Structure 1
């Protein structure tokens, strides 16, 4: 077919006019490309080479972390460079990405201020700049009418807590910054808000009364601030709340007795480290969805309510460091009721005023229990019965009580134990050889009791042991060489016993040892020069023994040494000049 001149002319005109249209369609918006390049220019360090693809040989929509819409012209709708190790500042040029919906730059090392231009991104839905080192004030985001999620936690942002946020916001995370002032009551106008996390700042005042109007608030985390006053009354109206944390503040007074009748959805309830007083409300048992309760480090008194056993989904219960008491069988009824909490993994009632014998119903607690802390009370009797049935325990802490008698052999059958804390009691007898079966044991605290006999060489079987304290007992005999072959051992305290013989030369094998305390024993002979091989030692306490000979010059090789006490021995000779280098 012949092409006429007119036809050719028209074809040229048509194709010429299509060039800019095709460029726009194929290559997208030039403003977006230049804005991204300006962002790259502000990056001073890119250790993972995350931006290596950001060059003209690739279309910007294919650059790492960049996503564009499929519709022409191609426009950037998402920039995600999470955890890339980027160092630099966030360029204001990102404010020119006018179609941007998702901006996610968390877990990097961005510094400087948050660009004010981000407050003009009308299409933006999610902004996540958490876990950087950004500082300065939070920009005004009220014009970002589509913004649903703001994550600015774990930075160094400062200034007053102002309500610079859009009306449709659903999640606001400002945790772990340096924000001051009070919580603005106008936040309650953001009725769509579901999550508010402002923990770890320097915010004063209390939760505003206006917060009672939130129809959808599910999570309120305001711990580790400077909040003061009584329990916030607004909480009583937040029936949708699933997580409440007001820990580490200066809140005081009593908790409303019917509080939990108004929180049917609550799963996390944390008021630890405040100044609350009074009784634990009996209504606690009515919050049937509770999974975690932490009211430790307050001034709560009275007994632990038996209704707590109605919380069948409970897996973490921390009541430690209060003034709760149990003086008779009725007071201890909570222990029987806790058997209904079949998923319980942590239960701490340490540092309270519990008295008498621990009831045998302890053995009916959940087999899922891993941490059981009863220390710092006034408990008495023999080693509490029932522990042998809690086969998943990783920690037993019954220290600082009035327990007595011998340790049961079955203690060595709890194969998952990593910590045994029995110190400051009146236990007697020998240290059970069955403890050598505990292959995962990392911490063995038996000091300040009345144990006697010899140290079992089988202690060396604990190949994961880090801290061993058996001081302030009546242990006699020689120090077994085996304990110095434990590759992980960091602390050995055998002071104030009746140990005799020499300090084994094998002590030099304990390369990780940071503290060696053998004070007030009857150890004799020379201080082995191999002690200088313990290059991690910071504290050596060999005072009040019968060591003789000279001070090893090798001790001068321990550059980490901070405390050296060799007093009240029979040492002779001069002080090694090498010690002057420490």
Structure 2
């Protein structure tokens, strides 16, 4: 039992410390070796005694690697003024008895493993000046009782698990100068009571859950020098006099909040400011010119906001700046030539993901202190300065995704110069326009180099033979170039390599067995080359391999069984080679394998039963081989999503257990020798997910599979008339069969005559397949679209469905429009679209690559058109993302400028079709779903199924097709005169384009439920201009990157006025497309200074 406050003596201090020691564990057992009766108490390690009473006044055990718990006996040291147990491993809780230390001024228990709550009894320590409890595991809330410690000057409770809200009682700590609560889970708003802490110099509330606007109370801290509020939920804008109210700030970190508005111009009055961060907010406007006065600035971070304007000129005045982070800010324009002379002390320069243009300033080579140069994801042009090699301390060079280079031989000269940068660890210049050969001097780059990427350029020649000299290399990315030659044997020296990507080049020769020396390799992509020979068995040594993809080459021989020993494999792709032999039994050891691609080889034999042991399998693709026998037992692969065993020699029946696979979305068993009754449960109920054609002995199944019925066999019934009946039946059957054959023959003859006549008429039309690249078969397209699976569908139109496909021998994805020949007018639509494409070419038209006129595997006519693929989908999905599946939705909304650019793109292509082709063409179906966006959000008009050469107009044909197309798809967009029998014309396109503009900037379809009767999208918009334009505008436009003070009302009014004049009811009153184009371009030049989007 502890003694009360009186009665403590020298001896009670000794007993208290010995009790304290008994609860301690120390690894070396020497620190507290003096703590025994053989030594005087005041000579014990860490103990300080008072001169008068020889009582313990100080205990300093910091950093002694002590463990155990803190004994309650510590509360008996009644003369204790300073207790320091920091930087040890004490566990347990802080004993309540610490509150008995009424004389204590300094209490340090930081950097331990203490748990529990902060004792409320600390409020008894009324003389406490320093309280350090940070870096523990303390929970609960901040005790309101701490508000009674009015002499407290330093309070640090950061890096714990504190929660709840900040108690208002902390406002009583009027002596407080430093408050640190970083990295807890404290939430709510900052109480106004803390405004009384007017002596505050250091305030750190970062990495919590605080919310509300920027705390008004902080504006009262005129002495504040350090303010850290990053990683919270603060919102709203900062006061315009922010800098005047907090003039002494040296560090201001407000990143990772939800702040809006502009940077206050008054920040320029903070003459002592050295560190400033507003990164990861929603701030906007231009960086104020007053920033130029912050001449002591060392660290400036504004990344990931919605700023506007050119690169801030004020930054050029900050000659002391060492760290500049401005990625993803929305800045445009070029960097000043003297950049490196004006900012000579930079260590980190990060300007990635803006819209910067122009060249890389050569003066960057004058920044001798530069460690990191990252200007990727911009629109820079010109060459990469070889002078960067003079920056000898450079560690990171990131210039990827620009337009650097000129496709010429000298583009890679800078690589040789970089050999002077001995600390260089990363070089990433992929996705540019770099041409020429990889210089042999690249092997002299820094021995510290771990990442080298030259991907997606126009680099030719071969990989230098001594590439193996870069022995620290962990990632080498050379894919999507035009490299030739062999893979050097020295690659086997790159023993630290984890990622080697050489895909989509023109490399040849054998894969060297030395590649097996790279035992740490995790990812090897060599697909889409011309490698020959066999797969090296040494790959089995790569025991950490996760992704192995060497498909689409010219490899032969067997699949090495050694690969099946790499149990870490997640992805194995060996498809489209000439591999022979069987699938090794060892495949069952690949327990982590998710995707297996062996299709389009020459493999044979029975599929091993061990395939059923690959329990992680999701995709199994073995099509176009010569596998035979039964389908192996794979009932345990319950997570499989796609199975393709088509084009093999498999026999036996289809396993019933496949119907139980709830994740299975695609099953292709076509063109085998399977037989028996089709299952009808599970996936087999959906004929769009199951493909079994080409198995002549299958029967039953759902109707859509079009299999023959299964007839039950019944035993014959014997009677006295059985012989006679048998003869009669035979005679009748023969007669009926002959009549049936004659009937079918006559029908077939008529069909052949009609088909010949139809094909003859098509072949005599002005369009022929010869106008395109090469002919494709139905089988080619079926394989390229995974059997026309739903998973490949990217859209549908009036006459058919559009699939995403990868054609044989192609590197890029394409779009395949398959026409539904059962719909009346589909053939005419096919011919019309081809006719329209024959002689036209414009950068804003989707490019037609080739076409297919073939017969499917069931003898039906098949027509398809193959277009370039638009990765950003249709304008429709960007305007109405709520109507799209969540996985397909764009990650953001279109800005006002991006919408204006798209409108200009569509207007310019219509102007071309109407006035600049050999014969005027009306598209007849302009709407958002027919406007596709490429990876740079450039618009491309598609779908010419209704298009008409106006000099060859056939009225009846047009309206038949319009009807058969289903007017539903174009209601609201079709010109009103079409509904009254008017002929298709360029004026009809202008009307549709006007409606398109109104929809793009209002966010409302013309078929919206708001509209009906006399209320149309046109009238709705017209009635709102100009006073209520913001009421009808798509609200997402108003929150996406507009600078402060942008005249959005005037800009939107002018754009919508163009739309209204395009969709006037009378064709004679509509704008011409040439006029609309000019007006829209004029609007862009006026409000955006001709600025396009980031990649345009």
Shorter-chain TM range is 0.7 to 0.9
Which residue, out of 285, 288, 291, partners 2:344? Answer: 288
Which residue, out of 272, 290, 302, partners 1:216? Answer: 272
Determine helix, strand or coil for the equivalent of 2:484. strand
Change (3 A) 1:58 1:214: closer
Q: How does 1:117-516 map to 2 (within 5 A)?
A: 117-140=169-192, 141-165=194-218, 166-188=221-243, 189-257=245-313, 259-260=315-316, 262-285=317-340, 286-326=342-382, 334-336=385-387, 338-354=388-404, 355=406, 356=408, 357-358=410-411, 360-365=413-418, 366-384=421-439, 386-392=441-447, 393-516=449-572
What do the CA deviations read for 1:360-408 (whole angstroms, capped 9, x no partner)? 3542332222211111111111113542332232221111111111111
What do the CA deviations read for 1:225-282 (whole angstroms, capped 9, x no partner)? 111222332322211211111111111211244641x212111111111221111123
**Separation in 1 of the partners of 2:436 and 2:591?**
44
Report which of the two has the higher share of helix. 2
Of structures 1 and 2, the one scoring higher in RCO (CA 8 A, sep 6+) is 1
1:93 to 2:145 alignment: yes
390-399 vs 316-325, which moves further: 390-399
Change (3 A) 1:280 1:436: same
90-99 vs 266-275, which moves further: 90-99
CA offset at residue 350 of structure 1? 1.4
Change (3 A) 1:108 1:436: same
Contact 2:303 2:325 (8 Å CA) reproduced: yes
What is the alpha-carbon root mean square deviation over aligned residues?
Answer: 3.0
CA offset at residue 194 of structure 1? 0.9
List alignment gaps of at least 5 residues for structure 1.
1-16, 34-47
Contact 2:533 2:556 (8 Å CA) reproduced: yes
**Separation in 1 of the partners of 2:618 and 2:480?**
27
**Separation in 2 of the partners of 1:99 and 1:437?**
66
CA offset at residue 308 of structure 1? 1.4
What do the CA deviations read for 1:532-555 (whole angstroms, capped 9, x no partner)? 322322222222223334444444
**Separation in 2 of the partners of 1:557 and 1:154?**
46
List alignment gaps of at least 5 residues for structure 2.
13-52, 58-74, 76-88, 112-123, 640-1096
Change (3 A) 1:351 1:554: same
Give the corresponding residue for 1:11: none
Change (3 A) 1:408 1:125: same
Give the corresponding residue for 2:166: 114
Change (3 A) 1:64 1:453: same
Contact 2:289 2:313 (8 Å CA) reproduced: no
Change (3 A) 1:269 1:53: closer
CA offset at residue 167 of structure 1? 1.8
**Separation in 2 of the partners of 1:273 and 1:384?**
33
**Separation in 2 of the partners of 1:502 and 1:264?**
64
Determine helix, strand or coil for the equivalent of 2:147. helix
What do the CA deviations read for 1:87-110 (whole angstroms, capped 9, x no partner)? 433322232333333332333322
Q: TM-score, normalised by structure 1?
A: 0.85
202-211 vs 532-541, which moves further: 532-541
Report which of the two has the higher share of strand. 1
Change (3 A) 1:198 1:259: closer
**Separation in 2 of the partners of 1:107 and 1:549?**
63
Give the corresponding residue for 1:530: 586
Contact 1:259 1:283 (8 Å CA) reproduced: no
Rg comparison, structure with higher value: 2
**Separation in 1 of the partners of 2:6 and 2:498?**
74
566-575 vs 413-422, which moves further: 566-575
Change (3 A) 1:89 1:18: closer
Contact 1:157 1:179 (8 Å CA) reproduced: yes
CA offset at residue 127 of structure 1? 2.1
Change (3 A) 1:66 1:176: closer
Which residue, out of 621, 642, 647, partners 1:565? Answer: 621
CA offset at residue 53 of structure 1? 5.1
Determine helix, strand or coil for the equivalent of 2:562. helix
**Separation in 2 of the partners of 1:427 and 1:324?**
25
Give the corresponding residue for 1:83: 135
CA offset at residue 149 of structure 1? 1.8
CA offset at residue 463 of structure 1? 2.0
What do the CA deviations read for 1:297-329 (whole angstroms, capped 9, x no partner)? 111111111221221111111111111111xxx
Determine helix, strand or coil for the equivalent of 2:309. strand
Contact 2:592 2:616 (8 Å CA) reproduced: yes
Give the corresponding residue for 2:811: none
1:56 to 2:97 alignment: yes
Contact 1:545 1:568 (8 Å CA) reproduced: yes
- Matched residue pairs, number? 536
What do the CA deviations read for 1:407-444 (whole angstroms, capped 9, x no partner)? 11121111221111111011111100011111211111
What do the CA deviations read for 1:92-140 (whole angstroms, capped 9, x no partner)? 2232333333332333322222222233322323222222222211234
418-427 vs 168-177, which moves further: 168-177
Determine helix, strand or coil for the equivalent of 1:427. coil
Contact 2:110 2:135 (8 Å CA) reproduced: no
**Separation in 1 of the partners of 2:211 and 2:615?**
41
What do the CA deviations read for 1:326-365 (whole angstroms, capped 9, x no partner)? 1xxxx55x322x2332211111221111223235354233
**Separation in 2 of the partners of 1:372 and 1:467?**
19
101-110 vs 222-231, which moves further: 101-110
Determine helix, strand or coil for the equivalent of 1:391. coil
Contact 2:450 2:474 (8 Å CA) reproduced: yes
Which residue, out of 105, 111, 117, partners 2:157? Answer: 105
Change (3 A) 1:73 1:256: closer
Change (3 A) 1:18 1:437: closer
**Separation in 1 of the partners of 2:170 and 2:98?**
28
211-220 vs 140-149, which moves further: 140-149
What do the CA deviations read for 1:195-254 (whole angstroms, capped 9, x no partner)? 111111111112111111111111111111111222332322211211111111111211
73-82 vs 209-218, which moves further: 73-82
Change (3 A) 1:244 1:66: closer
Contact 1:447 1:473 (8 Å CA) reproduced: yes
151-160 vs 543-552, which moves further: 543-552
Give the corresponding residue for 2:762: none
Determine helix, strand or coil for the equivalent of 1:436. helix
